[in-house]
Amino acid sequence: MLSYRLNKQITLSANWIYSTGQTYTQPTGRYEIDNITIHIYSERNAKRYPDYHRLDLAVNIKTKKSLSRR
């Protein structure tokens, strides 16, 4: 996390998250014997979902007057 105080009222912040894709076992086919479906799978955990990354940006502004209402 990165945070930068621009002045007394304004703060900028950024947070970057990255992770590799989770592995999974992909179904490759199926067949049916006597109305029973048999699934065929690839090698266990042979495939991987795409990598995940996200950038969150924020600007916090402090005001002199409270914005809360009753």
Give φ, ψ of 38 to 5 degrees: -110, 120
Cα within 13 Å of Cα(36), Cβ side: 3
Q: pTM, whole model, 2 decimals?
A: 0.58
Tally the domains of the chain: 1
Is 69 contained in some domain? no
Q: Give the domain range for residue 18.
A: 2-61
The string of pLDDT tens digits covering residues 15-65 is 999 999 999 999 999 999 999 999 999 999 999 999 999 999 999 999 877
Q: Decide if 68 is inside a domain.
A: no
